[in-house]
A and B are shown apart, each in its own frame.
Chain A
């Protein structure tokens, strides 16, 4: 999604490299920063969408001027209070927001059955708006339902929930160990549903793309990957006193004093022998 919104992937990697906590300007890309606390963003999207409605940018005479918000979250997030509150708020205020749940069937180690006894898309009806399940590994179907839901939101019909049914092929993080909680055959069966492979065969069968095209896509991807690796490794070390940047829009005398003390403290090491403390 960040890619589609034009966010340089290096900016995202910078967050995971520990350089920053979200280095891009959301206004430049209409793409918000990651909240990390599970599901919190659904309320933010709802509030933003309420603002769109207040600004009169839904259901207008010129559909090109109408706006909507879309928010992404996982199957685990649907258990959070925030997500359920977002469903309520968006519904009662007819907010132009699309809830896109990427149901990859695992919240780290916990299978979907630990979060729900009904298909997730059915939850929407209890909150009073439409829900739809789509094959999340079908690129065109996912695009179609997303476009439809966004158009409805822009047209003033309020929120909807999309449950994109998919699978998490790898581990949740480098610390995770999926062999502890799922069997290899399950992973193997999902390999056969790879959305990129499926899209490729579709394009071949439709005779709209040839090998030259796929070769060029692969070359582009390889070049991008090489650039990302290089850019990631060459990220500059953030300045130590950047800790004090951007705590408040207009700064704070107290923090200015703390920064000055910290800088003097760091300077006191200038004459210290390398490798040792003072």
Chain B
């Protein structure tokens, strides 16, 4: 049975299910208890599961991840909320030097099923450090898995899959989509759902493949709809979903059909996910490509002040501009 809910509520419902299913699942973060998180994603969970399982932590991100590692070593399954993307860096050392590498260090004896929930991306008119897209730092680190949800239905099942995973998972939440609504099936099982580390064709098309993830999936879908309504190019939209590991087969299949690819993300272009996708597509689909792979991304600048962020963020026009340039070849 599906229900209509916002993306934020869908994550809330997913956390609730995971906590009901496994008493070892605990939530940790700043202001996640009584306040329910600054985005209210954990609203009501402390009331229902108690302060032992929904823990308001001291204001120290390195401490959140470091102690989550210890709790995981003791058999718990911590789900950490980092309040904003720009506040994850104090925890960066614990994430890349410890969390990512302990399974390798222990020759497979230790697993660290820690989920790090990270509201990411811009578009909410915030001050500095509240609109970052740090995904490439984590995707570059072996031992971590990195996923991004793009809709309420995906958010609900992907958070449950991330928590059930024995890997450390960076779970990217598109914060500007928290209030967007969609149909959610909270009953669908973690095993029966679409796999966590798989990319997905959301819209079929014939002229150009557009790959996006997180908040940009909506933009890519809108661009495809706009192009179709104006008898423009037919765009095939793929939601990448898993940023590490990458699931390339659906992308290769699509590019062999369309001959063209545009990658869209908010993060700066240089060494972003688009770089890796372009490299892999030219390695595998070189003779199918009719044009270079192009990217519509944030610029190689710090995230700008809010009043100019609309110019920084790829939008429908920027995506269609890249598509046009791709098709002009």
The answer to whether A and B assemble together is yes
Asked whether B317 is an interface residue with its Cβ less than 8 Å from the other chain, the reply is yes
**Residue on B with the closest CB to A248?**
B301
Which stretch, B68-76, B110-118, B234-242, B307-315, touches the partner chain A? B307-315
Residue A240, interface by CB 8 Å: yes
Establish whether residues A237 and B311, one from each chain, have CB atoms under 8 Å apart when the complex forms. no
Q: Which residues of A contact B321 (CB under 8 A)?
A: 265, 268, 278
B245 touches A (CB below 8 Å) = no
Contacts A15-B127, A16-B127, A37-B90; A21 near B305 (Cβ below 8 A): yes
A114 to B31 Cα, complex, angstroms: 11
Complex-state Cα separation, A19 to B127, whole angstroms: 10
Interface residue A77 (Cβ < 8 Å from any Cβ of B): yes
Q: Which residue of B62, B86, B128 has the most chain A CB atoms within 10 A of its CB atom?
A: B128
Contact between B89 and A81, CB atoms less than 8 A apart? no
Whether B34 pairs with A181 at a CB distance below 8 angstroms is yes
Residues of B within 8 A of A247 (CB): 300-302
Q: Are B59 and A37 in contact (CB under 8 A)?
A: no
A240 touching B311 in the complex, CB below 8 Å, given contacts A37-B86, A80-B60: yes
CB-CB under 8 A from B304, the residues of chain A are: 242-243
Using a Cβ cutoff of 8 Å, how many contacts connect chains A and B? 113
CB-based nearest B residue for A182: B34
Residues A262 and B34 in contact, CB atoms below 8 Å apart: no
Q: Which of A108, A180, A254 contacts B30 (CB 8 A)?
A: A108
With known contacts A109-B31, A109-B35, A238-B308, A79–B59 Cβ distance under 8 A: yes
Q: In the complex where A36-B128, A278-B320 touch, is A262 in contact with B35 (Cβ < 8 A)?
A: no
- Which of B87, B301, B317, B318 lies in contact with A244, CB distance below 8 A? B301
Question: Most A CB atoms within 10 A — which of B34, B59, B60?
Answer: B59
Whether B38 sits at the interface, judged by CB under 8 Å, is: yes
Q: Assuming the A-B contacts A79-B59, A81-B90, A244-B301, are A175 and B320 also in contact, with contact meaning beta carbons closer than 8 angstroms in the complex?
A: no
**A17 on the B face (CB < 8 A):** yes
- Among candidates A21, A38, A108, residue contacting B35 with C-beta atoms closer than 8 Å: A108
Q: Per-residue 0/1 for A80-95: is the Cβ within 8 Å of any B Cβ (1 yes, 0 no)?
A: 1110000000000000
CB proximity of A130 to chain B, nearest CB, Å: 24
B182 within 8 A of A: no
A205 beta carbon closer than 8 Å to chain B? no
Chain B residue numbers with a CB within 8 Å of A262 are 299, 311
Given contacts A20-B305, A243-B311, A278-B320, contact A115 B31 (CB under 8 A): no
Residues of B within 8 A of A107 (CB): 30-31, 59
B218 within 8 A of A: no
Q: Which residues of B contact A115 (CB under 8 A)?
A: 58-59
Chain A residue nearest in CB terms to B302: A247
CB contact under 8 A between A243 and B90, given known A36-B128, A110-B31, A277-B226: no
From residue B300, how far is it (CB to closest CB) to chain A in Å?
6
A18 near B: Cβ within 8 Å?
yes
Contact residues, B108-140 vs A (CB, 8 A): 125, 127-129
- Beta-carbon contact of A180 and B86 below 8 Å: no
State whether B87 touches A37 (Cβ < 8 A): yes
> With A17-B307, A109-B34, A277-B226 known to touch, is A81 a contact of B299 (CB < 8 Å)?
no
Given contacts A19-B307, A108-B38, A238-B307, contact A38 B301 (CB under 8 A): no
B316 contacts the other chain (CB 8 A)? yes
Complex CA gap A238/B312 in Å reads: 13
Question: Which residues of A (10-54) have their CB < 8 Å from a CB of B?
Answer: 15-21, 36-38
List residues 36-85 of chain B with CB under 8 A from any CB of chain A. 36, 38, 56-60, 62-63
Looking at the complex, which one of A21, A82, A176, A265 makes contact with B90 (CB distance below 8 Å)? A82
Chain A residue at smallest Cβ distance from B93: A81
User: A109 near B33 (CB under 8 angstroms)?
Assistant: yes
**Interface contact A114-B307, CB-CB below 8 Å:** no
Known A-B contacts A180-B36, A181-B34, A238-B305; A79 and B60 likewise in contact (beta carbons under 8 Å): yes
Q: Which residues of chain B have C-beta atoms less than 8 A from A243's C-beta? A: 299, 301, 304, 308, 311-312
Q: With A79-B60, A265-B321 given, can you name 6 additional A-B contacts, CB distance below 8 Å?
A: A18-B306, A110-B56, A180-B35, A180-B36, A243-B312, A278-B317
What are 21 A-B residue pairs whose CB atoms fall within 8 Å in the complex? A18-B305, A36-B86, A37-B87, A38-B87, A76-B59, A81-B90, A82-B90, A108-B35, A109-B31, A109-B56, A110-B56, A110-B59, A180-B34, A238-B308, A242-B308, A243-B311, A244-B301, A247-B302, A254-B300, A258-B300, A278-B321
| A interface list, Cβ under 8 A from B | 15-21, 36-38, 76-77, 79-82, 107-110, 114-115, 175-177, 180-181, 237-240, 242-244, 247, 254-255, 258, 262, 265-266, 268-269, 277-278
- Using a CB–CB cutoff of 8 Å, the interface residues on chain B facing chain A are 30-31, 33-36, 38, 56-60, 62-63, 86-87, 89-90, 125, 127-129, 226, 299-302, 304-309, 311-312, 316-318, 320-321
Q: Which 5 A-B pairs have the closest CB atoms?
A: A18-B306, A109-B35, A76-B59, A79-B58, A18-B307
